[in-house]
């Protein structure tokens, strides 16, 4: 396949993916019963006293995804140094593909498509490490959330005590196990290098080995900041919508929701129904305003996932167009 054919092929794929994404989002929005109410609430907030608060919620989307882009920049920079802007383009492109796949697995394909061919396997490998850092933070806060709800009496541990104890032990075990796996990367490297017949595993092992411990620590810090931002967005939105959800109690209730969502095989574009039901269940101790809870869930889903995914698909088309022009200029010279 020559360069011209490859450019046309990639552009065609980009257009198809973008159109497909827009169509899936449109179909999903059509089936959201609470979408109309969510828009009404947003307009009411924007035109009333909640304007500043709503603006803060919207603006927090920027540092949320910039932090994820910074994580990606740190990891990919070990093989192919990239700017923060290019890292953000890569992250949003991955998101545009990931929203249509279970647990956003499509993000891997979307991100590595923006990386040069020789380093795509390494990029996919280190992306897994970045995802692991976010999962460790989710598990850690989830365990703290479980302890808080038991200690404060939100959950009665005497009811189904065996189940709650088993869950607590499981969370501790998974958190410790993943933390060991995360920092003792030599164990993973040894595992990959054991299969010497498979070259791609050797390359994957070397990619993990190249990550310094200092970057691993920074990834956890960035992941924790992201966690605090998108949790803070939801809590602030609940306050703006008139609920009496306390900040501390609400934070740990949401930590349990995020923990459950991390292990459910759902697609981001279709998970709003499940997320809404979980929010109602875990927040019912603090508020009976289920409409506000569902509205907040829809708004966060839109501004943190759907809108950035749309931007990602547009950026992908723009990047391809620029790349095509650059190739044409080179050919003429």
Q: What are phi and psi of 183, to 5 degrees?
A: -90, -30
Taking CA 25 as the corner, what is the angle to CA 24 and CA 28, rounded to the nearest 5 degrees? 85
Residues forming a β-bridge with 102 = 267
pLDDT category of residue 281 using cuts at 50, 70 and 90: confident
Within 10 angstroms of residue 96's Cβ, the number of other Cβ atoms is: 27
pLDDT category of residue 327 using cuts at 50, 70 and 90: very low
Mean pLDDT of 310-332: 60
DSSP 3-state of 267: strand
pLDDT in tens, 141-195: 998 998 898 888 777 666 666 777 777 788 888 888 888 888 887 777 777 677 6
The beta-carbon contacts of 82-89 under 8 Å, at least 24 apart in sequence, are: 86/114, 89/114, 89/312, 89/315, 89/316, 89/319
Tokens of 267: 């697609």
Distance CA 5, CA 127 (A): 29
Q: What is the pLDDT of residue 218?
A: 96
Mean pLDDT of 305-318: 81
Q: Are 293 and 280 in contact (CB under 8 A)?
A: yes
Residues near 108 by beta carbon (within 8 Å), at least 6 away in sequence: 94, 124, 127, 128
Give me the DSSP letters along 301-318: HIIIIIHHHHHHHHHHHH
* Residue whose token pair is 């973008």: 18
Q: Where would I find the beta strands (DSSP E) of 197-278? A: none
First to last CA, the chain: 22
Task: List C-alpha distances in Å: 87 to 75, 255, 279.
Answer: 10, 28, 32
Residue with more model confidence, 27 or 257: 257
Residue with more model confidence, 167 or 289: 289
Q: Which residues of 282-303 are buried (b: 16+ CB within 10 A; e: fewer)?
A: bbebbbebebbbbbbbbbbbbb
What's the whole-model pTM score? Answer: 0.84
Q: Which of 145-149, 191-195, 199-203, 224-228 has maximum average pLDDT?
A: 224-228
Q: What is the pLDDT of residue 168?
A: 78
Tokens of 235: 């809590």
Within 13 Å, how many C-alpha atoms sit on residue 231's CB side?
Answer: 26
Residue with more model confidence, 220 or 161: 220
Tokens of 172: 């501790």
* Least confident piece of the model among 44-48, 104-108, 273-277: 44-48
Mean pLDDT of 267-273: 61
Query: For residue 133, is pLDDT > 60?
Result: yes
Q: Angle, to 10 degrees, between the axis of helix 213-240 and the axis of helix 61-76?
A: 170
Mean pLDDT of 324-333: 48
pLDDT category of residue 206 using cuts at 50, 70 and 90: confident
Give me the DSSP letters along 97-119: HHTTSBTTTTHHHHHHTTS-GGG
pLDDT in tens, 73-102: 999 999 889 999 999 999 998 888 777 777
Q: What percent of the chain has pLDDT over 70?
A: 75
Q: What is the mean pLDDT of the chain?
A: 80
Query: For residue 25, is pLDDT > 80?
Result: no
Closest by CA to 137, choosing from 215, 19, 226, is 226
Mean pLDDT of 291-313: 86
Tokens of 328: 């044409």
Residue with more model confidence, 57 or 270: 57
Give me the DSSP letters along 31-58: T-TTHHHHHHHHHHHHHSTTHHHHHHHH
* Strand (E) or helix (H) holding 170: helix 161-183
């Amino acid at each position: 396949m020559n360069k011209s054919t490859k450019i046309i092929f990639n552009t065609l794929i980009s257009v198809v993916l973008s159109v497909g994404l827009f169509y899936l989002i449109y179909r999903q929005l059509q089936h959201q019963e609470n979408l109309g109410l969510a828009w009404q609430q947003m307009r009411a907030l924007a035109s009333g006293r909640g304007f500043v608060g709503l603006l803060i919620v919207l603006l927090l989307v920027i540092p949320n995804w910039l932090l994820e882009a910074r994580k990606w920049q740190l990891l990919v920079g070990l093989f192919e140094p990239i700017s923060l802007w290019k890292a953000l383009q890569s992250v949003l492109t991955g998101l545009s593909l990931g929203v249509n796949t279970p647990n956003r697995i499509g993000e891997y394909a979307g991100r590595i498509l923006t990386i040069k061919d020789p380093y795509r396997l390494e990029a996919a490998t280190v992306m897994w490490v970045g995802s692991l850092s976010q999962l460790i933070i989710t598990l850690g806060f989830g365990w703290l959330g479980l302890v808080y709800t038991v200690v404060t009496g939100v959950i009665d541990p005497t009811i189904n005590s065996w189940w709650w104890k088993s869950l607590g032990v499981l969370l501790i075990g998974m958190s410790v196990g993943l933390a060991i796996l995360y920092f003792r990367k030599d164990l993973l490297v040894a595992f990959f290098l054991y299969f010497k017949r498979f070259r791609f595993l050797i390359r994957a092992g070397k990619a993990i080995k190249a990550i310094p411990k200092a970057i691993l620590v920074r990834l956890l810090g960035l992941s924790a900041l992201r966690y605090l931002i998108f949790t803070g967005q939801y809590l602030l939105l609940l306050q703006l919508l008139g609920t009496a959800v306390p900040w501390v109690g609400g934070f740990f209730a949401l930590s349990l929701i995020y923990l459950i969502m991390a292990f459910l095989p759902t697609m981001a574009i279709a998970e709003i129904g499940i997320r809404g039901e979980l929010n109602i269940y875990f927040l019912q101790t603090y508020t009976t305003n289920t409409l506000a809870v569902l509205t907040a869930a829809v708004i966060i889903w839109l501004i943190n996932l759907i809108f950035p995914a749309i931007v990602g698909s547009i950026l992908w088309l723009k990047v391809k167009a620029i790349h095509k022009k650059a190739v044409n200029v080179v050919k003429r010279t």
